[in-house]
Structure 1
Amino acid sequence: MLEKAGAAQAAPGAVLETSGGANQVRVRAYNERLVMSLVRRHAGLSKADIARRSGLSAQTVTVIMRALEGEGLLIRGTPVRGRVGQPSVPMRLNPDAVFSFGLKIGRRSADLVLMDFVGRIRMQVHRTYPYPMPGFLLAFIAEGIAEIEARLTPEERGRIAGIGIAAPFELWSWAEEVGAPQSDMNQWHGVDLQAEIEARVAYPVFLQNDATSACAAELVFGVGPHYPDFIYFFIGSFIGGGVVLNSALFSGRTGTAGAVGSLPVQRRDGKTVQLLKIASIFVLENLLREHGINPETLWYSAEDWVDFGEPLEIWIQDTAAALAQAIVASASVIDFSAAVIDGGFPAWVRERVVVATRAAVKQLDLQGVVLPEIVEGAVGSQARSVGGASLPLFSRYLLDQNVLFKELA
């Protein structure tokens, strides 16, 4: 899970090595990851449940869980009394055992979050800007980490696994759409963001495309367990997305599978354009300006939008019409069980977009198409940050979803 177009770099001292043959240390490390991953996926399991689902012996599971509990990675839940015998004690991930930083770099704002071991955001630092520049962002990362670290105890700081960055690739490509001088955006050429951040922080650094990170967060912490195959749309400054097949991210031959923003759709006037030219927040930004409304409030907080009235409704209807076309086209190629829609906006906006998309789909020619269920994402506006913060956790402690869905049960 969580591959980059390329691959995310392994953290120093990662629990599981992937090179070479098998040995006892590697096998135990793998089994420890398997146990923690199963516990995470099911929000708590007893030793008997883990043995049944993993195929490991009861003795092996007991030894592993005792060790993980001793290290503080697992904690005991409330005993569950059955009809016969001793009560079953579910084990859960300890939320305070491990923390990780997640950085979302957007076209108008950046968010740095501290996430715990079960995916809850504990702290956050937010910045807005007219457009992203390397110098500003590198300074923000260093300052933001220092700000959050200052609010942690030394023991808590010692439990930080790393920092995961969710950023658009080829930032220089969107100068016109974000109203930035091309000369400024060209500064991104040749910037190795991962290396630059590694030089400034004391943690392992991982890098992933922002939309892919959001899709991964939805797979792990959102509706993923309910839908083995889904097409994912995240509406940010520019719409992006991802593809999930057999409960795992599918990145494709070149790592660009799920680049839904490039899908061709028709506008109201019948002209064919890319999906991102309609179903992106920068389009709403321009629409607000045309109606004499200051769009800056879009970027202050994704959860605090106001109802902009007519221009917002126009944008929602246009976005829904374009999304409907994209969903039908996608369903014609792969029999997805769901189309998941989320974005950098409040839940009430997401609900309106989803309702409008369901209505727009009914206006299309659906002969021969089995429509997926069109559903709201469950992670919300922080999906990119959460996906980024997941990278260090999966590198050091957990297994990817492909392994989890090979359970025996």
Structure 2
Amino acid sequence: MPPSESGRGEAEGNDAAESRMRGSNQSGLRAHNRRAVLSLIRRNGRLAKAEIARRTGLSPQTASVIMRELEADELVLRDQPQRGRVGQPSIPMRLNPDGAFSLGLKIGRRSVDLVLMDFIGRIRAHERIAYAFPRLRQILDFIAKAEPTLRGTLPGPLAGRVVGLGVALPFELWSWADDIGAPEGAMDEWRDLDVKAVLATVTDLPVDLANDATAACAAENVFGSAQTADFLYFFVGAFVGGGIVMNGDLVSGRRGNAGALGSMPIPAPDGGYAQLIDFASLYLLEKSFEARGGDMLAVWRGERSWERFGPMLDQWIDKAAYGLAHAIVAASSVYDFECALIDGRFPAAVRTRLAERTAAVVATIERKGLFPVTVRPGTIGADAREIGSASLPFFARYLLDHQVFFTDAE
């Protein structure tokens, strides 16, 4: 039967996300209860059965049955017993990293990445290529070659535990052709493309889709260590994007476009307005380097390439920080975020510099009537979009759904 009022009272001290996990002893909700238990363990790292029962509102007997099933399915492992003052020692349970695997595909404007991720969010293997602009045939050929390579890194018994392919790609990918210098009409093939149907020609795995910036934000929310339930999130890629998390939930909005931060109007220093993408996108650094005779794809060729940028990087950070700071202050007038997290496709040192510079600019902007918002680097890093995409199959099959994930990004 449903948890009692007293059971609800015991869970009041838990965070908002956990309070929504309460299931039921009814057999028809067994799948939900399994997801709730796995999600609770994932969030906390490890938990004993008694604590799982208390936080979910399940009876101790039902919690024990579910834990035995999950252990038999090799989705959870027993940790070292913990002795208390009285009674038998409790045995915490944790997710089994080898319990399930997924593939995460990030299709970007300048590169495509495919990762193999385990059940606790660690990337086990990674393949990527860079390009001037995304071409469908090139990407399909890449997947056809990279997928068996990644799956082949798993020992025989584990290879069968790859449960799906998650895909993250920008909203209306074709509409950015002019901005990235693609030939006229070269990206029209992405318009109205049935991504799932096309990918079915090169993989036998179930496919789930998400917007790339949304996936990055979700990765921070699910696997990050920011320790905040209310944050504004920016991911700086070829074009900046982002997301918003309120009370521990990644918010999708009425039409799935909440957190479209790249489109936020920013006052131009010389008058008028532009959008955040015109201040805090890596294509600006790319174009600046190319104008000085450099390789326009250097931004995407690894950390060592960043050593070539010199003063151009300083100028880009100043400009990006200006745009991000104004976006943060504007967003904080709509909702009182605890912090703003800045991540992106750049080395950790650049991420730290950008966050620090943005915080400094925020301090110079009039904020009367607003609560302070701290600015911090994101905790996932350059692979946030890939990790977010790879988590889609896990939420589809094992964890409580994040509804924003399943808004089609086609």
TM-score scaled by length of structure 2: 0.89
**Partner residue, 1:215:** 217
Instruction: Please give the secondary structure, in 2, of the residue aligned with 1:305.
Output: helix
Once the 2 structures are TM-superposed, how far is the Cα of residue 24 of structure 1 from its aligned partner? Answer: 4.7
Once the 2 structures are TM-superposed, how far is the Cα of residue 166 of structure 1 from its aligned partner? Answer: 0.5
Q: 39-48 or 172-181: which moved more? A: 172-181
**Partner residue, 2:348:** 347
The 5 Å alignment of 1:8-407 reads 24-223=26-225, 226-301=227-302, 305-306=306-307, 308-400=309-401
For the Cα contact (< 8 Å) 2:152–2:159, is it kept in 1?
A: no
How many Å separate the matches in 2 of 1:257 and 1:339?
A: 16
For the Cα contact (< 8 Å) 2:359–2:374, is it kept in 1?
A: no
Structure 1 segments (4+ residues) deviating >6 Å: none
How many Å separate the matches in 2 of 1:290 and 1:272?
A: 25
For the Cα contact (< 8 Å) 1:303–1:346, is it kept in 2?
A: no
Q: Deviations over 1:164-203 (max 9, x none)?
A: 0010121111112111112101121232112110232111
For the Cα contact (< 8 Å) 1:302–1:381, is it kept in 2?
A: no
Structure 2 letter corresponding to 1:80: Q
State percent identity of aligned pairs.
50
Once the 2 structures are TM-superposed, how far is the Cα of residue 385 of structure 1 from its aligned partner? Answer: 0.4
Once the 2 structures are TM-superposed, how far is the Cα of residue 151 of structure 1 from its aligned partner? Answer: 2.7
Q: Deviations over 1:49-80 (max 9, x none)?
A: 11111111111111111111111111011112
For the Cα contact (< 8 Å) 1:97–1:117, is it kept in 2?
A: yes
Structure 2 letter corresponding to 1:26: G
For the Cα contact (< 8 Å) 1:304–1:346, is it kept in 2?
A: no
Instruction: Please give the secondary structure, in 2, of the residue aligned with 1:37.
Output: helix
Q: 382-391 or 289-298: which moved more? A: 289-298
Instruction: Please give the secondary structure, in 2, of the residue aligned with 1:243.
Output: strand
How many Å separate the matches in 1 of 2:326 and 2:291?
A: 26
Q: 294-303 or 332-341: which moved more? A: 294-303
Q: Deviations over 1:12-65 (max 9, x none)?
A: xxxxxxxxxx99543111111111111110000001111111111111111111
Q: 375-384 or 364-373: which moved more? A: 364-373
Once the 2 structures are TM-superposed, how far is the Cα of residue 294 of structure 1 from its aligned partner? Answer: 2.8
Structure of greater relative contact order (alpha carbons < 8 Å, 6+ residues apart): 1
> What is the aligned-residue RMSD (CA, Å)?
1.7
For the Cα contact (< 8 Å) 2:356–2:376, is it kept in 1?
A: no
How many Å separate the matches in 2 of 1:122 and 1:391?
A: 17
In the alignment, structure 2 segments of 5+ residues that lack a partner are 1-23, 404-410
How many Å separate the matches in 1 of 2:304 and 2:188?
A: 31
Q: 299-308 or 64-73: which moved more? A: 299-308
How many Å separate the matches in 2 of 1:171 and 1:193?
A: 12
Q: 190-199 or 344-353: which moved more? A: 190-199
Instruction: Please give the secondary structure, in 2, of the residue aligned with 1:180.
Output: coil
Once the 2 structures are TM-superposed, how far is the Cα of residue 153 of structure 1 from its aligned partner? Answer: 3.2
Structure 1 letter corresponding to 2:393: P
How many Å separate the matches in 1 of 2:305 and 2:132?
A: 19
Structure 2 letter corresponding to 1:395: A
- How many residue pairs align between the two structures? 380
Instruction: Please give the secondary structure, in 1, of the residue aligned with 2:314.
Output: helix
Instruction: Please give the secondary structure, in 2, of the residue aligned with 1:207.
Output: strand
Structure 1 letter corresponding to 2:176: W
For the Cα contact (< 8 Å) 2:215–2:389, is it kept in 1?
A: yes
